């Protein structure tokens, strides 16, 4: 079986998000392309699909290189800025790096091992910060809820988030207080 046909057989309509993400990350890494998963897909993984995203955002952590060969070998087809798979509902994007949340560049990532290899992903604390950045700057309440979903299920560094939020002008400090209040309220119920 050709490598492209083998990859297509690995990704099917029932392949879950984390399996697809791990396969993409591991194959890119094998081809010398280092990426990290962020955004809503990271929330989906950390919330065990309490929030479900279909968009896998992989940000390059090294030199930006063309991903075409790897993605095509996995059975994906390019449609404008997205990569779609004919047998799966998830699509892949490659936003420009570096991996940053607000003005803070992130260099340390979590790794989750699966049968297909290693998935490099934002740590839960940085995943919360990523979602809060959208809430702070765009008043996106869905992102606030996503931050809460991750924080409820995983240990996070609230002191780090508070320090970071203080620098996110103009609303970071006040919206962080709202986030912390909602989080503490959910812990008491």
Q: What are the sequence ranges of the domains in the chain?
A: 3-122, 125-188
CA 39 to chain CA mean position, Å? 4
Whether the CB-CB separation of 57 and 38 falls below 8 Å is answered with: yes
Task: Name the CA radius of gyration of the chain, rounded.
Answer: 17
* 189 residues of the chain, pLDDT tens digit each: 444 444 545 899 999 999 999 999 999 999 999 999 999 999 999 999 999 999 999 999 988 789 999 999 999 999 999 999 999 999 999 999 999 998 899 999 999 999 999 999 999 999 999 999 999 999 999 999 999 999 999 999 999 999 999 999 999 999 999 999 999 999 887
Q: Among residues 94, 106, 155, which one has the least CA distance to residue 130? A: 106
Whether the CB-CB separation of 91 and 83 falls below 8 Å is answered with: yes
- Topology, domain 3-122: Beta Polymerase; domain 2 (3.30.460)
pTM of the full structure: 0.92
Q: Among residues 149, 123, 136, which one has the least CA distance to residue 37? A: 123
């Amino acid at each position: 079986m050709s490598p492209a046909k083998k990859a297509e057989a690995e990704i099917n309509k029932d392949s879950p998000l984390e399996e697809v993400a791990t396969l993409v990350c591991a194959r890119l890494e094998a081809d010398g392309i280092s990426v990290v998963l962020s955004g809503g897909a990271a929330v989906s993984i950390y919330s065990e699909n309490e929030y479900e995203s279909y968009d896998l955002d992989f940000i390059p952590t090294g030199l930006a290189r063309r991903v075409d060969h790897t993605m095509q070998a996995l059975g994906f087809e390019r449609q404008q800025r997205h990569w779609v798979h004919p047998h799966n509902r998830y699509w892949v994007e490659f936003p420009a790096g570096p991996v940053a949340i607000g003005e803070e560049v992130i260099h340390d990532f979590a790794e989750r091992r699966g049968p297909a290899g290693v998935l490099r992903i934002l740590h839960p604390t940085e995943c919360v910060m990523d979602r809060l950045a959208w809430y702070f700057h765009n008043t996106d309440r869905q992102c606030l809820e996503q931050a809460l979903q991750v924080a409820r299920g995983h240990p996070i560094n609230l002191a780090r988030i508070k320090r970071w939020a203080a620098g996110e002008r103009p609303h970071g400090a006040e919206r962080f207080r709202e986030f912390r209040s909602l989080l503490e309220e959910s812990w008491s119920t």
